[in-house]
A and B are shown apart, each in its own frame.
Chain A
Amino acid sequence: MPTELPYAADAEVSLQYDELEVLRLQYQKELAQSHVTVQTKFNYAWGLVKSPLREHQVEGVRLLQEIYRAEPTRRRECLYYLGLGHYKMGNYEEASRFNSLLLEKEPTNLQAQSLGHLIDERVKREGYIGMALVGGAAAIGTLLLAGVIRRATRK
């Protein structure tokens, strides 16, 4: 059975503040009772990952990692969420590693495939920016050098 997963776009839609607050309260209530159900933890974690705030995302991924550690049967699902979380945080290496592990298990998983492409694209885009930066720096360096040389030759 292919696992039911959200697409990456879903992670970009953040929850209302009070909705997240409800999830947080529920989580903390159960935490105080020292029996946190997986669903509650996930709800809060997923809500956090969806949030645009980076601190939230970090906390969300941390919770997902906890679920991953504690619940072997939920690991496959968590692979995807971890990948997604890291992707959103910009940790593309981690994201692609989690996602590729999932793809190894479920090569036909559409969501994972799409996430894989997204990660790819981001990595490429940042690569171009990097190249541009290097190129720019090289250009400036060349200009400066040219100027220096010109001055030197003028004298």
Chain B
Amino acid sequence: MTPRMMDHAATVSERSRSTLGLGSNSHVLDFATLGRAPMRLGLATRRITSRDLQIVEATEELLQEDVPEPEGIASNVSLLRGFNATIPSADKSRVRRRQTRNVDTQRLGLKKLGMSARGMLTAEEEHETESVVSEEDVVVVGRAAGKGKGRGKRKGRQSLSATKTFGKDELLRQTREIERDKENLHVRRALINNDIEEITHKIEALDAMRAKLEQDLLKLQEEELELDDELEGVKERLELEDSSSRAPSNPAEVVHALYSSRRRKGPAFLPSEHDDLPPGVAFMSLTEHKTPITALDFSEPYGTLVSASQDDSQPRVWDLLTGEEIGRLRGHRGTVKCIQVEDHVCLTGSEDGTVRFWDLRRVDDDLGGEGEVLSLSEIAEEDEAVDEAAPKANGIRSSVNAEVVEQDAALVRVLEGHTKAVSALYFEDECLVTGASDKTLRQWDLSTGQCVMTMDILWAISHPPTAVPGAVLPGHLFPGAAAAAGHFAVPTPPYADGTWEMYEDFVGAVQFWGYALVSGSGDSAVRMWDMRTGQPHRTLLGHTGPVTCLQFDELHVVSGSLDKTIRIWDLRTGGIFETLKYDHAVTALQFDTRKIVAAAGENGIKIYNRTSMQHSTLMTNGHTKPVERLRYMDRYMVSGGRDSVVKVWAL
């Protein structure tokens, strides 16, 4: 110790002395150290412990700390005040005062009273009771305090204080003491209030911490879901590569895709540059369209996009890698309302009641003057094609065929049968299901182009499936059911920009998986069909407006409607699992296990995080008018809006 102290004396205290100006020179200090040494050695109490060293060593560190101005409780109540107010001796004067007021009385048995009042009467105490004269005696205090009981007759009840005098000094002293006690109380109150406040802060901090942790937990859950999807994607890929290696002689003429991208899970193949894109930002705009986008779909991220717009019968085909238009699909005679693309296979459904089957590999960029100027030979070809394809359905139109439609090399097949606009379609492998404003669903075989089955929604409405578990028919059912008999047309609720439209698509959406088919229609019902029988087996009722879009997976059906909601249905119970409310009509949606992406009549694209239940909106560089269509794969999304622009987003 001593050498260390010397050290101190030589180095550190130099500074302290200079600041303090102690006036002593280093000589004295050295002697002081020396002088202390024998005292240390001599007295047993001055044993140096590790604790000693510890606190001395801490000095340096403590002196480095900043000493701020005291504030808050520290400036109001000093530690010493608090100490004086809270130590046990602070109560002493009170006890003393109380004792000065005590009066010697005859034994009252008060303790016994108290005990018995608390129900603590013991045998011993009962014994004692007998010695205390009677209950009456116990109550009458006056006699005990005063004259004794010699008289036999009871004297008037006298106050206890009557026998006591304090004197002025004592009373003044008591006044002062009481004042001090009150002040102490004030101090203690301030201290406790401060502690309460401190605890409140701590609780807040802890709450924040808890919220943070819960969020982390949700993130983990999300990550797990993502991994699940990825695993499934990898397995699917394994299967695919297995089968392709087993049958290397790939039939070149099979034009349909093996796997539907609609149900494909897991990460898509993205160029590595995609990771550099800021998420939630539209990084590409395709502006060729002149009218609001009515339908769009793409083969894969940075693949081929097909998009259609109002009053334009020729959907545009884009190369998403460059953002350039490759060509157009010429053939339809009305607005194209639905598109599905799988690889190079593209199906489009149009207002003209036909569905056309295109091979996107054969789309070439022969924009002969934007496709408006046509050669005679092409006209002839087209007429020929129409004649042989559908003489019945197009009977009227071909005769009124004033506007000449060019025949495209990419066209593989025309599927005719619907009598009104085809508003929804879905295909997987060889099987196609379409929904049209003639209020029927049709199932087609793509290899032959034949209609396999027709499902009549009107019939389904009038013959509801007997067992509708969990669904009560709402009385305020949308008038769609009533209007179903005639022409279906409903004005959409105004979009965010105040515009509205006449909504005429009776079938908003269809999707199937295996034999399970789900349709969303203008009678605000989501219907589940069995494609083996063509019968609906369950109707999900709950929407109050036409259903415009839907998608389902193993667990849920998610449907969007003009009633400004998205409903998530539980497939097992048929009940509503969750309802998401929006400010405007929902026109398109897509979901996976983690999120629901929706176009809900606003400029921004709505994303609902299913894990954290948080809503967000994609706005950056987005549409300038409400979004109506969208489709995404993994972290790549394409959307089309009423501003006639197609935007490509990184998610």
Contact with A along B33-49 (1 / 0, CB 8 A): 11110111000011101
A130 and B33 form a contact (CB under 8 A): yes
Interface of A is mostly: helix
B498 located at the interface, meaning its Cβ lies under 8 Å from any Cβ of chain A in the complex:
no
Q: How far is the CA of A68 from the CA of B58 in the complex (A)?
A: 11
B67 and A105 form a contact (CB under 8 A): yes
Q: How far is the CA of A130 from the CA of B81 in the complex (A)?
A: 40
What chain B residues lie within 8 Å of A123 (beta carbons)? 22, 24, 28-29, 32
A61 and B35 form a contact (CB under 8 A): no
A20 to B: closest C-beta gap in Å: 9
Q: A53-B45, A74-B79, A77-B79 are in contact. Are A96 and B22 (CB under 8 A)?
A: yes
Q: How far is the CA of A83 from the CA of B70 in the complex (A)?
A: 18
Q: A82-B62, A126-B35 are in contact. Are A54 and B56 (CB under 8 A)?
A: no
What chain A residues lie within 8 Å of B81 (beta carbons)? 4
What chain B residues lie within 8 Å of A71 (beta carbons)? 74
Residue of A nearest to B51 (CB): A58
A35, A47, A75, A78: residue with the most chain B Cβ atoms closer than 10 Å: A75
B68 located at the interface, meaning its Cβ lies under 8 Å from any Cβ of chain A in the complex:
yes
B199 located at the interface, meaning its Cβ lies under 8 Å from any Cβ of chain A in the complex:
yes
What chain B residues lie within 8 Å of A148 (beta carbons)? none
Contact with B along A88-131 (1 / 0, CB 8 A): 01111110111111011100000000001000101111111111
A124 and B80 form a contact (CB under 8 A): no
Q: A79-B67, A97-B63, A123-B32 are in contact. Are A133 and B80 (CB under 8 A)?
A: no
Q: A19-B87, A76-B70 are in contact. Are A58 and B79 (CB under 8 A)?
A: no
A9 located at the interface, meaning its Cβ lies under 8 Å from any Cβ of chain B in the complex:
no
Chain A interface extent, by class: 35 or more
A69 to B: closest C-beta gap in Å: 7
B15 to A: closest C-beta gap in Å: 8
Q: A71-B74, A127-B31, A133-B38 are in contact. Are A39 and B79 (CB under 8 A)?
A: yes
Q: How far is the CA of A59 from the CA of B50 in the complex (A)?
A: 11
Q: How far is the CA of A98 from the CA of B56 in the complex (A)?
A: 12
A81 located at the interface, meaning its Cβ lies under 8 Å from any Cβ of chain B in the complex:
yes
A42 located at the interface, meaning its Cβ lies under 8 Å from any Cβ of chain B in the complex:
yes
Q: How far is the CA of A119 from the CA of B589 in the complex (A)?
A: 81
A140 located at the interface, meaning its Cβ lies under 8 Å from any Cβ of chain B in the complex:
no
B16 and A93 form a contact (CB under 8 A): yes
What chain B residues lie within 8 Å of A90 (beta carbons)? 36, 39-40, 46
- The A-contacting residues of B in range 65-122, CB under 8 angstroms, are 65-75, 78-83, 86-89
A50 to B: closest C-beta gap in Å: 10
A65 located at the interface, meaning its Cβ lies under 8 Å from any Cβ of chain B in the complex:
yes
A58 and B65 form a contact (CB under 8 A): no
What chain A residues lie within 8 Å of B191 (beta carbons)? 37, 39
Interface of B is mostly: helix
What chain B residues lie within 8 Å of A53 (beta carbons)? 45
B32 and A92 form a contact (CB under 8 A): yes
Q: How far is the CA of A93 from the CA of B55 in the complex (A)?
A: 13
What chain B residues lie within 8 Å of A4 (beta carbons)? 78, 80-81
Residue among B5, B29, B46 making CB contact with A54, cutoff 8 Å? B46
A91 and B56 form a contact (CB under 8 A): yes
B67 and A75 form a contact (CB under 8 A): yes
B67 and A126 form a contact (CB under 8 A): no
Q: How far is the CA of A62 from the CA of B67 in the complex (A)?
A: 18
A42 and B35 form a contact (CB under 8 A): no
Q: How far is the CA of A79 from the CA of B82 in the complex (A)?
A: 17
B593 to A: closest C-beta gap in Å: 41
What chain B residues lie within 8 Å of A147 (beta carbons)? none
Stretch at the interface among B6-14, B392-400, B423-431: B6-14
Contact with B along A30-73 (1 / 0, CB 8 A): 00000101111011001100000111001101100100110111
B38 to A: closest C-beta gap in Å: 7
A5 located at the interface, meaning its Cβ lies under 8 Å from any Cβ of chain B in the complex:
yes
A153 to B: closest C-beta gap in Å: 34
A120 and B62 form a contact (CB under 8 A): no
- The B-contacting residues of A in range 1-29, CB under 8 angstroms, are 1, 3-6, 15-16, 18-19, 22-23
B408 to A: closest C-beta gap in Å: 78
A134 located at the interface, meaning its Cβ lies under 8 Å from any Cβ of chain B in the complex:
yes
What chain A residues lie within 8 Å of B39 (beta carbons)? 90
Q: How far is the CA of A58 from the CA of B51 in the complex (A)?
A: 7
Q: How far is the CA of A47 from the CA of B66 in the complex (A)?
A: 26
A3 and B70 form a contact (CB under 8 A): yes
A127 and B35 form a contact (CB under 8 A): yes
A93 and B38 form a contact (CB under 8 A): no
A69 and B19 form a contact (CB under 8 A): no
A128 and B45 form a contact (CB under 8 A): no
Residue among B32, B74, B75 making CB contact with A124, cutoff 8 Å? B32
B62 and A1 form a contact (CB under 8 A): no
What chain A residues lie within 8 Å of B78 (beta carbons)? 3-5, 77
Residue among B33, B56, B68 making CB contact with A94, cutoff 8 Å? B56
10 cross-chain pairs, A with B, having the tightest CB-CB distances, nearest first: A130-B31, A130-B35, A129-B35, A130-B34, A126-B35, A100-B20, A73-B74, A127-B28, A126-B32, A127-B31
Beyond the given A93-B16, A130-B35, please list 4 additional residue pairs across the A-B interface where CB-CB is below 8 A.
Answer: A39-B195, A55-B49, A75-B65, A124-B24
